Amino acid sequence: MRSDNVTKGPERAPNRSLFYALGYTPEELERPLIGVVSAYSEIVPGHMNLDKLADAVKAGVRMAGGTPILIPAIGVCDGIAMGHEGMKYSLASRELICDSVETMFMAHQLDGLVLVPNCDKIVPGMLMAALRLNVPTVVCSGGPMLAGRYDGQEVSLSKMFEAVGAYKAGLIDDEKLEECTENCCPGCGSCSGMYTANSMNCLCEAIGIALPGNGTIPAVYAKRLQLAKKAGMAVMNLVEKGITSRDIVNEKSIRNALACDMALGCSTNTVLHLLAIAHEAGVKLDLSIFNEVSAQVPNLCHLAPAGPTHMPDLDAAGGIPAVQAELAKKGLLDLSLMTVTGHTMGENIQGAVNRNHNAIRPIEDPYSPNGGLQILWGNIAPGGCVVKRSAVAPEMQKHSGPARVFNSEEEAIEAIYNSRIRPGDVVVIRYEGPKGGPGMREMLNPTSALAGMKLDTSVALITDGRFSGASRGASIGHVSPEAASGGPIGLVQEGDTITIDIPNASITLEVSEEELARRKAAYVQPEPKVKSGWLARYARLVTSADQGAVLE
């Protein structure tokens, strides 16, 4: 075992003495040492229950003959970080988390990992580290929040951001805004729609690195604690059999995850994270594969913000196994692949039943014959860009309109709040990419403001930044190359016509090549927005969004 490097032999007596200082016994040091990496904190609603979950994981490890060791991890709450300079740190924190998990594991020579994250960048950051290390690993997430209640309906965080837009437009008053504020997020867990956190937790299950139920069992259910105990036991089975993270996460299992991504209608951020996860797993994955899978896999779910259902509805309908069972009817999954249960994907979903056709459409009657995400290409995005097609109104699947150009999120939101955006416009927000932001901020404020003002069916938004999974409408992000890297989005001028054709995967700036060449010759690159601190270092090292925004 790797832990022999710190526990065995007379040469390691000094190392053992420090374990004894921690209260470990010789008997505990004879067992495999399992890192339980918990992102518990008192600043993230999705993480406020992770202390209890980590304790349950530790109990499972002990029951199966291992010695659990709790290790901390940071985590940003994207909702609290939204709309100000704090959001610059969110995506960048993914790399910090990855590096810190690698550091703690290698410095202390552990034998396996149970990862206990929940929210947006923490899940992929931890998983990236496990794949980089290639060690026995189980992901056990914190679980989704229950839906809130507002105005007689079930709601979640996206409704809160849209309520701000409605307030700014004079559609609701102070009292209604406060009612929504107090009731949309009822307690612990990752926000209840198919936003990025829940998307990644579901995809961990779909890829096989998490136990069935990981993506959908609500945070407050006892089943979530039971799942954590089983995760602790499962990692011990992996250690005993020598099954590592890259045995489970490989080219075929990533394709399984992509199929579930398209069926579920996951966040556009899954594109960034799956690219980064594949990079750490040594798997070649490019944007064209997303459209290839999307063309084959129908969209079966319309969870918030695309529709009225929430994560507890998906769980009650049978969860990810029920979605996988629907996909398996048409041979859209490789069911032979090993998972952390010790069984194949096919064995895991035996007996899975779709119990609610409102939450999971039968594959014979999908919302659409294509998947929830679409990659677009064109002269404004030669490296591609991404849209959550399943959350775009039918009338916006094809759209052409004048560009309204802004060089930051703040400029755009000020224009939106002051009613300077008109139906038919195409809002362009640039210099918000991985380098230009830096940190590629999520922009839920402008998308939700447009939705709250009832403009999401007539106004498109294009950015080299990215969107929250809670965004809906023709919100097209990850434009690559970004403006700060000399991408054509930096050449767009106010009033230029931009044509969007989501079904045909195209996006076009209606300007001649000669005119673009003239603009490029006259272009002057702006000064970096951040010149000190680790974000400045991040900006120098980060790659393009179409490469997963990983560090060089």
Instruction: Please confirm, yes or no, whether 475 is among the known catalytic residues.
Output: no
Question: How do 373-378 and 475-480 pair as beta strands?
Answer: unpaired
Q: Which residue has the tokens 């612990």?
A: 188
**By C-alpha distance, which of 178, 177, 150 is closest to 163?**
177
| Sheet strands (E) in 451-544 | 460-463, 475-480, 497-501, 506-509
| CB neighbourhood size of 185 (10 A) | 21
SS3 501: strand
| Cβ atoms of 359 and 154 closer than 8 Å | no
- Distance (Å, whole) CA 155 – CA 165: 16
Strands (E), 42-118: 67-72, 112-116
Helix (H, G, I), strand (E, B) or coil at 334: coil
The whole-angstrom separation of Cα 259 and Cα 297 is: 6
The one catalytic residue among 141, 190, 199, 468 = 468
Q: Which residues of 483-500 are buried (b: 16+ CB within 10 A; e: fewer)?
A: bbbebbbbbbeeebebbb
Q: How far apart are CA 434 and CA 545, in angstroms?
A: 7
Q: How far apart are CA 163 and CA 448, in angstroms?
A: 8
Q: Are 321 and 352 in contact (CB under 8 A)?
A: yes
Could you give the count of Cα atoms lying within 13 Å of 118 in the half-sphere of its Cβ?
A: 32
Alpha-carbon span 270 to 542, nearest angstrom: 18
Cβ pair 139, 37 in contact under 8 A: no
Instruction: Tell the residue number behind the tokens 């699947």, with chain if given.
Output: 397
3-state SS, one letter per residue, for 181-250: HHHCCCCCCECCCCCHHHHHHHHHHHHCCECCCCCCCCCCCHHHHHHHHHHHHHHHHHHHHCCCHHHHCC
Cβ atoms of 261 and 373 within 8 Å: the answer is yes
The catalytic residue positions are 468
